[in-house]
Amino acid sequence: MTIQNDYLKEIQELKAETTPTQRATVPSLEKILYTPISVLDHGFIRVIDYMGDDSAIVQAARVSYGKGTKKKTMDRGLINYLMRHRHSTPFEMCEIKLHVKLPIFVARQWIRHRTANINEYSARYSILDKEFYTPQPDVLSSQSTTNNQGRGSVLKGTEAERVLMLLKRDAEQCYASYEEMLNENELGDPRDPSKQGLTRELARINLPVSFYTQWYWKIDLHNLFHFMSLRGDPHAQYEIRAYVDVMLDIVKEWVPFAYEAFMEHKVHGAYFSKSGLDVIKRMISGETVSQETSNMSEREWGELMVKLGK
Amino acid sequence: MTIQNDYLKEIQELKAETTPTQRATVPSLEKILYTPISVLDHGFIRVIDYMGDDSAIVQAARVSYGKGTKKKTMDRGLINYLMRHRHSTPFEMCEIKLHVKLPIFVARQWIRHRTANINEYSARYSILDKEFYTPQPDVLSSQSTTNNQGRGSVLKGTEAERVLMLLKRDAEQCYASYEEMLNENELGDPRDPSKQGLTRELARINLPVSFYTQWYWKIDLHNLFHFMSLRGDPHAQYEIRAYVDVMLDIVKEWVPFAYEAFMEHKVHGAYFSKSGLDVIKRMISGETVSQETSNMSEREWGELMVKLGK
Amino acid sequence: MTIQNDYLKEIQELKAETTPTQRATVPSLEKILYTPISVLDHGFIRVIDYMGDDSAIVQAARVSYGKGTKKKTMDRGLINYLMRHRHSTPFEMCEIKLHVKLPIFVARQWIRHRTANINEYSARYSILDKEFYTPQPDVLSSQSTTNNQGRGSVLKGTEAERVLMLLKRDAEQCYASYEEMLNENELGDPRDPSKQGLTRELARINLPVSFYTQWYWKIDLHNLFHFMSLRGDPHAQYEIRAYVDVMLDIVKEWVPFAYEAFMEHKVHGAYFSKSGLDVIKRMISGETVSQETSNMSEREWGELMVKLGK
Amino acid sequence: MTIQNDYLKEIQELKAETTPTQRATVPSLEKILYTPISVLDHGFIRVIDYMGDDSAIVQAARVSYGKGTKKKTMDRGLINYLMRHRHSTPFEMCEIKLHVKLPIFVARQWIRHRTANINEYSARYSILDKEFYTPQPDVLSSQSTTNNQGRGSVLKGTEAERVLMLLKRDAEQCYASYEEMLNENELGDPRDPSKQGLTRELARINLPVSFYTQWYWKIDLHNLFHFMSLRGDPHAQYEIRAYVDVMLDIVKEWVPFAYEAFMEHKVHGAYFSKSGLDVIKRMISGETVSQETSNMSEREWGELMVKLGK
């Protein structure tokens, strides 16, 4: 990741300034405020602002005049209860604002989640940096033969090298053309005075979706959980899961009780269909059940066995 | 407005505690944090939390690493530009959380705005206080004869007295029945041990919509502006406008530049249709235009004259 | 339920007219189009319009040029797969529009679901009918002693009679005052010419939340499933569940495959937390697990046993 | 635009089938149902389904049992009134579903509008066609010197040719690498049996944002108006305005009264700030106002003059 020096200076200025507030404050989150956390080869997540803490969830659930409950353990129990029973609105009372740098193809998956506020860096208005995503060799995989949306085994030697060469070569050529078409030097003057330069909003159409964009993204905790649950799922693309991993660490610092309840009830829990539940009940009562006697398709049975760790 | 003593104590505790933060902080909003501001006879608005300030709007619009711009006046100009050109997303980067006490009939209009987070006090779970709205004599109006949704002149002596008596008498009787049906004393024990007591979720159906409810309400600045624009409009019901008035004061403290741009471009500006614009152009060029020569209906012409202050 | 004669005539006119369309059409839903289906004592649901069918879900999932798949059984399998794997967007491609008459207290729970379009009958503008909800004796329950949001046993003889009398007496008195304050006869003329009449938007604040309102409500199938999942849950209030029951019947006619998948995966399935899943695995492997050895609280253990039908 | 023959066959099959329905039907929209309407060089819009007509807007506004009003002219007047007074909810009661083929960079602007349902063709799952956008010479413009987001004059001869060559050359090379990395022939078998082939979700990151994607997009009429108002604005990028132009034609066929009101009040109307309104009033009263005496900045004054056609 490259954060240029003047950006680092701006960040340090922000971190240096401290003001007193009566609002709910989370010291462990304050520590990492503004600082970029690396994701992939050029990406990052920065926490810009946050509203609320664990206690604010309880406070909202109780529509109370003061803080949450009197005791930390009561807050914890109530948060667990709210998560368990799908009482989602109190979690909406916490909000977080992130500055994210991410490849365009990741941004395109990300933005499918509509319940968030977004301000994206505009390539109609500004010029994009020469930064594009290149996968590390260990995630450079073949197509899965069993799952159309999945990855199979890692590519071997020559083929991997060839792929990385192609990705790099094409991205660089596209960017060189982008610069040539723009015809602007660093001062905004024409590089070649005999040319007019193509408008930015058209020049950028030459850039592959591996190029990095960035945005401010603001979301409430309930919808962040929903986002992380879907995009942190093993079926989601590796590159977006890399961002979810960082967000999970952030949420753990921010609202530890809510994080704990989320892991317990959403991430490490499992959902069973009526048929799956029937199989479980029969198994518990000592019966030996097979796919043939289960009333489930081969595929669903396979999914059930994975959930049961078999 | 009645805030019981134990609530006041909780509020004072919250206000007494101050922590340092690196986040954007607005000292003039901190001053009124947590404190209830009276609305109508028993209602209030309390600011519980906020995220961002004027500078945060600019910061998001520029997807910047640091704060807004270098100079306050540049922030002001950019915010004016964003408001003028309907660039609404940067305003979504500020968020506010309010605790509101309001009559049910106001809550029913309020909740029509869907882009907000809400936690309402549950009358399935808890018992509502004996607090209902009674209009002040100066807003106790007759039905408008020209506008089906509007108010006409103020009711006179005997009729006004009779109306107030009826509203009070019925609300009190409904509440007395509510208490009798619940059959609970202050300790939660049966008032009449020979009775079971009706479940809360049914007993409350006896209460008129003049009774007060309360909720936590969290919204971003752009959607708050939209809410205030619609519900602060002269055509909105007086009782909800009373809440908007208080919110305007709060927003003025919180984000003064955005408030100024909102007043300039939304509240005190005006929209003209194609036909209205044609009339204006003709008038400016010195022509005398009447409704007959305007290509507008009588009603639309009337609305145009109001906008032009004629 | 009372639908006045002139309304019935309007409905018959709508049903009599048939036009050819190339759009996806569901004959079994056409049969019940426009006809009110009774709910509670004065409420109803009418299907006003719909968009799409089972095949449209598949068509959208495949972003196809024609219909869904070639075979009905493939559509069925794919819909089951989409529901199982939380691919919710294809279900959003079906839409339904309902006309609903419902008590205000039910409307207040209903409207908490924000992803829908609503047009409510305005009591600022029009006069409400004298129709209020009175519970049937078999749902007139006491407060649950174990669940603050639940109902306990049915009220007995005298107490039940007294409750029904109070509900009826207060509602009728409130409505009588409403009429008196409005001072309008059926022709819109003053009943008492010496009085001005209170504006409608204020007179209605005297009406209890048991009174019926009505609205047009439009929602996509995914969000309808979400609504029915939450409001059809045994923990939801009986009166809103009565509406969900009718909606389930409608959905069954409209999109039978999606309905089937919803019942299998959402209604009759169950979610288990990490701890619950651990217990299940241990039980399946033949171990005897009790609450004490389960790592779960008494309450969570109880919920787990209910899910396992023990 | 290229629609392959088998797609045309599927479309013809859909158009051939007609069923009777009691729902609101719009014959002039039925005519163009399913048929692709060309946009840009390879894009299209197809109307897949619709719900409601002009009358349905009135029906919802009145929460009525039958159709809209008795007379067409009353419907027209009421729709005009609703649009004029920002009563947006009745317009939400109409819904349209489109199948759109569009360049990725247009899709990225489009999806910023969150109040819609979307199913996009997945390049994780399927292989994208070799179709990319190349601007026509008459829209191949230089960067505007006065507006950072705008276009200036059209590029001249050699430079234009060079730009088109670069766009074409890079897109073709990127697609060739895409195919090589995928290593799949038309039957899904390996082109080079000695290679594994890169997983689709990674191979596609090499494609520029000029490549075409496609999606199903469903939206209600109010939000469609909002979308068209923002993206049909002269400040929006030409390529997305090309889609808005086609949508305007569709809406004109579908809901002619609503279309008329939209053009009158939103497209051809204008908004004036408080300062602008003051200037207008002074001008109408015969005063000569200049920027210096206007209390407006040079930029705002310029915008005002444009609105007044000066």
pLDDT tens per residue across span C251-286: 999 999 999 999 999 999 999 999 999 999 999 999
Per-residue pLDDT, averaged over B57-70, amounts to: 86
* Residues of B annotated catalytic, as ranges: 231
Contact B209 C207 (CB under 8 A): yes
Contact A204 D209 (CB under 8 A): yes
Q: What strands, in cross-sheet order, belong to the sheet with B95-103?
A: B37-39, B43-51, B95-103, B212-220, B117-120
Domains of chain D: 1-128+210-269 (3.30.1360.170), 274-307 (no CATH)
More confident residue, D41 or A146: D41
Distance CA B106, CA B215 (A): 12
Element (H, E) at D69: none
Residue B265 CA: distances (Å) to CA of A119, A122, B72, B273, D271: 22, 25, 20, 17, 8
Nearest CA to CA, how far is A123 from chain B (Å)?
Answer: 12
pLDDT beyond 50 at C1: no
Q: Tens of pLDDT along D211-268? A: 999 999 999 999 999 999 999 999 999 999 999 999 999 999 999 999 999 999 999 9
Chain A residues with CB under 8 Å of B34 CB are 22
Contact B151 C112 (CB under 8 A): no
Contact D20 C24 (CB under 8 A): no
Distance CA A285, CA D29 (A): 60
Per-residue pLDDT, averaged over B85-109, amounts to: 97
Backbone angles phi, psi at B51, to 5 degrees: -130, 125
pLDDT at position B1 is: 44
Nearest CA to CA, how far is C117 from chain D (Å)?
Answer: 6
The complex scores an ipTM of: 0.95
Nearest CA to CA, how far is C240 from chain D (Å)?
Answer: 21
Size of interface B-C (CB pairs under 8 A): 152
**Cβ atoms within 10 A of the Cβ of C301, count?**
19
DSSP label of B67: S
Per-residue pLDDT, averaged over A193-204, amounts to: 95
Q: Which residues of D201-214 are buried (b: 16+ CB within 10 A; e: fewer)?
A: bbbbbbbbbbbbbb
- Is the C-alpha dihedral spanning C255, C256, C261, C267 positive or negative? positive
pLDDT at position B3 is: 57
Q: Tens of pLDDT along D92-130? A: 999 999 999 999 999 999 999 999 999 999 999 899 999
Per-residue pLDDT, averaged over D263-289, amounts to: 95
- Closest residue of chain D to C116, computed from CA coordinates: D92
Chain D residues with CB under 8 Å of A41 CB are none
pLDDT beyond 80 at C178: yes
Pick A105's closest partner by Cβ from D105, D170, D205.
D205
Interface test mutation site (partner B, options D80, D109, D271, max chain B beta carbons within 10 A):
D271
Three-state DSSP at D264 gives helix
Nearest CA to CA, how far is C45 from chain D (Å)?
Answer: 12
Chain B residues with CB under 8 Å of A56 CB are 49
Distance CA B244, CA B232 (A): 6
Most confidently modeled of B185-189, C175-179, D73-77?
A: C175-179
pLDDT at position A1 is: 43
**Cβ atoms within 10 A of the Cβ of D304, count?**
22
Q: Tens of pLDDT along D171-222? A: 999 999 999 999 998 888 899 999 999 999 999 999 999 999 999 999 999 9
pLDDT at position C65 is: 83
Alpha helices in chain C (DSSP H): 5-16, 27-32, 54-61, 72-84, 104-110, 157-182, 200-203, 221-231, 238-254, 256-262, 274-284, 298-307
The structure's pTM equals: 0.96
Contact B283 D284 (CB under 8 A): yes
More confident residue, D233 or B71: D233
Catalytic entry in A76, A200, A204, A231? A231
Per-residue pLDDT, averaged over A92-102, amounts to: 98
Contact D21 C25 (CB under 8 A): yes
Three-state DSSP at B48 gives strand
Contact A63 B215 (CB under 8 A): yes
List the beta bridge partners of residue A142: D198
Q: Which residues of D233-267 are buried (b: 16+ CB within 10 A; e: fewer)?
A: eeebbbbbbbbbebbeebbbbbbbbbbbbbbbbbe
pLDDT beyond 60 at C2: no
% of chain B at pLDDT higher than 90 = 83
Question: Of A112, A128, A97, nearest to A33 (Cα)?
Answer: A97
Backbone angles phi, psi at D164, to 5 degrees: -65, -40
Per-residue pLDDT, averaged over A113-138, amounts to: 94
Contact C140 B114 (CB under 8 A): no
Pick B152's closest partner by Cβ from C143, C151, C199.
C199
Question: Mean pLDDT of all residues in chain D?
Answer: 93
Strand pairing report for B19-21 and A19-21: antiparallel
Most confidently modeled of B65-79, C9-23, D242-256?
A: D242-256
- Closest residue of chain C to A113, computed from CA coordinates: C89
Contact B284 D284 (CB under 8 A): yes
Contact A117 B21 (CB under 8 A): no
pLDDT beyond 90 at B244: yes
Question: Mean pLDDT of all residues in chain C?
Answer: 93
Contact C284 A281 (CB under 8 A): no
Model confidence band, residue C72 (pLDDT cutoffs 50, 70, 90):
confident
Neighbour subunits, B (≥3 Cβ pairs < 8 A):
A, C, D
Q: Assign residue A86 a region: left if phi > 0, alpha if psi is -120 to 50, beta otherwise?
A: left
Per-residue pLDDT, averaged over C124-145, amounts to: 92
pLDDT at position B170 is: 98
Chain D residues with CB under 8 Å of C101 CB are none
Size of interface B-D (CB pairs under 8 A): 73
Nearest CA to CA, how far is A150 from chain D (Å)?
Answer: 8
pLDDT at position A310 is: 85
Distance CA C260, CA C250 (A): 13
* Residues of D annotated catalytic, as ranges: 231
Nearest CA to CA, how far is B123 from chain C (Å)?
Answer: 9
Report which residue type is found at D109: Q
- Closest residue of chain D to B288, computed from CA coordinates: D284
Q: Tens of pLDDT along A207-240? A: 999 999 999 999 999 999 999 999 999 999 999 9
Contact D14 C214 (CB under 8 A): no
Nearest CA to CA, how far is B166 from chain C (Å)?
Answer: 6
Per-residue pLDDT, averaged over A270-288, amounts to: 95
Using a CB–CB cut-off of 8 Å, the residues of D that contact B are 77, 84-86, 89, 112, 230, 235, 263-265, 268-277, 280-281, 283-284, 286, 297, 300, 303, 307-309
Q: Tens of pLDDT along A61-85? A: 999 888 777 788 899 999 999 999 9
pLDDT at position A3 is: 57
Show Cβ contacts of residue B274 under 8 Å, excluding neighbours closer than 6 positions: D263, D264, D265, D268, D269
Chain D residues with CB under 8 Å of B228 CB are none
pLDDT at position D3 is: 57
Pick B14's closest partner by Cβ from A67, A215, A216.
A67
Chain C residues with CB under 8 Å of B204 CB are 105, 209
Contact D271 B271 (CB under 8 A): yes
% of chain C at pLDDT higher than 70 = 98
Pick A273's closest partner by Cβ from C84, C284, C297.
C84
Distance CA B67, CA A16 (A): 13
Report which residue type is found at C49: D
Per-residue pLDDT, averaged over A186-194, amounts to: 88
Per-residue pLDDT, averaged over B35-55, amounts to: 97
Show Cβ contacts of residue C187 under 8 Å, excluding neighbours closer than 6 positions: none
Pick B230's closest partner by Cβ from D86, D230, D309.
D86
Contact B15 A22 (CB under 8 A): yes
Interface test mutation site (partner C, options D2, D31, D58, D63, max chain C beta carbons within 10 A):
D63
- Closest residue of chain D to A113, computed from CA coordinates: D114
Model confidence band, residue A121 (pLDDT cutoffs 50, 70, 90):
very high
Nearest CA to CA, how far is D234 from chain C (Å)?
Answer: 30
Pick B18's closest partner by Cβ from A13, A22, A120.
A22
Note whether B203 and C155 are within 8 A (CB).
no
Nearest CA to CA, how far is A205 from chain D (Å)?
Answer: 5
**Cβ atoms within 10 A of the Cβ of B280, count?**
24
Contact B10 A67 (CB under 8 A): yes
Distance CA D224, CA D95 (A): 9
Contact A277 C270 (CB under 8 A): yes
Chain B residues with CB under 8 Å of D264 CB are 273-275
Question: Of C135, C136, C134, C131, nearest to C121 (Cα)?
Answer: C131
